Chains A and B, each alone.
Chain A
């Protein structure tokens, strides 16, 4: 246990450098008129 730091997640981003890019995920418009979103809240279809 760390005293000064609590890490809240186990990120997978670096791993996906090799595995990602299948492209099955949704498009993600960010404009105000759509379901719009930032990619941060997308789900992976894999």
Chain B
């Protein structure tokens, strides 16, 4: 049977999630216990099972409350199957451009082999980049919001193409009424004043890569000559962040992320997140490395330690929040009431049908991680999508078609995990990577807890002032 609820304890708080409605309930220990027995229609059984532990009156009261939730559709809500809107053919709305399949760093965990993706080191020509703009416009049908991500390797080593593509995209916006959101991911080494100014003037969202503490960063992110890159990166990141404060920056709809990767070398990554925050950055993300057969990668055995660390991070996050020094942590940020629609929750990342990566030479792949992977080339900008089966397969590889995910409590939050990781570990995009799943679920519990606590605090404040 498909799980309908998920319950967990975080920081001593008992939480009940109704999977199919998304309702989150903070409960007491008694409710937590009796949910082992309660199915919605077996009150007598619940009382029989728990009357030695709890008073009968209390149990009856608890059951009444649970039935009230059911009446509201907030407990045991009906199963969700594929919504009708999901069946149409996919339209492409995002492209990741491999602006440079080359890099000025040699990060130890890079899946792109120092930016080359197992291919020749090369950079994308302006012509290829501009063709990608046209491809996206043509493939997006009536969709208005389009995204383009300038990626690599290190995109700033090929500013010529970045600029040409941006200029062209802005021109085509005028002509077509589309809206391009532009994002660039950089290691910061080439983030000089001139580049910062240009990126600011062109409303780029930025994803800045930093792994936290200097020693952690330097060990993982050396340059071509083997020297640590922390000092150079952080200096430029500060400059960049300072340039994006005040004025209309709050309203431009662009963001400046600082993001890091943790590996087996820094399982105490809370310190790295806090170090980033201490440096003055407050939009942060920190994620587990995904590597197979590597001393830096994680296995099942690491899960308890990782889970413990997320508890620590959660505590630190709440502590800073209460001290008025709160920060935004990507995975804890979740809108429990107005999250995405079901169609979105089911479809997940969109790789291979809504989202493609364009290799430096114009070849199309399901996403940046598939670039250069055997059997995943979908076509090219010149020929268009020549493999029509694979995009359809990606499209149909949503949560409800993955055996493991169908029954997983986090299916509507996680939406089926990363296809690229599934392929890496199991050679099948429908078989999720287990270690990733466990980390995902732990992170979600922390996120739900954080949001529940913030909501309760808000309600308490309202009560006080009322």
Contacts and interface: CB of A to CB of B under 8 A. Distances in A.
Interface in B312-343: 330-331, 333-343
B303 interface: no
A35 B84 CA distance: 29
B50 to A, nearest CB: 13
Contacts of B369: 31, 33
Interface residues of B, number: 90
Interface stretch (B38-46, B164-172, B347-355, B382-390): B347-355
Contacts of B257: 35
Main secondary structure of the interface of A (DSSP, over half): loop
A34 B350 CA distance: 14
Interface in B252-268: 257, 259, 261
B420 A39 contact: no
Contacts of A43: 335, 340
Contacts of A41: 330-331, 333-335, 339, 447
Interface in A19-39: 19-39
B333 A39 contact: no
A6 B290 contact: no
B138 interface: no
A24 B26 CA distance: 33
Interface string B89-124: 001011000000000000000010000000000000
A28 B350 contact: yes
Nearest to B207: A35
Given A27-B350, A39-B415, A4 B341 contact: no
B351 A29 contact: yes
A4 B349 contact: no
Given A31-B418, A39-B345, A41-B331, A12 B338 contact: yes
Interface residues of A, number: 43
Contact of A27 (B111, B355, B440): B355
Interface string B53-72: 00000000110011011000
B83 interface: yes
B376 to A, nearest CB: 15
A35 B30 contact: no
B219 interface: no
A45 to B, nearest CB: 6
A5 B417 contact: no
Interface in B162-220: 181, 183, 185, 205, 207
Nearest to A16: B341
26 contacts: A7-B69, A8-B26, A8-B336, A11-B22, A11-B74, A14-B21, A19-B341, A20-B344, A21-B343, A23-B343, A24-B144, A27-B349, A27-B351, A27-B354, A34-B207, A35-B257, A35-B285, A38-B443, A38-B444, A39-B340, A39-B415, A41-B334, A41-B335, A41-B447, A44-B338, A45-B145
Q: Which 4 A-B pairs have the closest CB atoms?
A: A20-B341, A21-B85, A21-B343, A16-B341
Given A27-B354, A30-B418, 17 more contacts: A5-B31, A6-B26, A8-B25, A8-B456, A11-B23, A11-B339, A14-B78, A22-B85, A22-B341, A23-B354, A27-B93, A29-B355, A32-B261, A38-B443, A42-B340, A42-B344, A44-B341
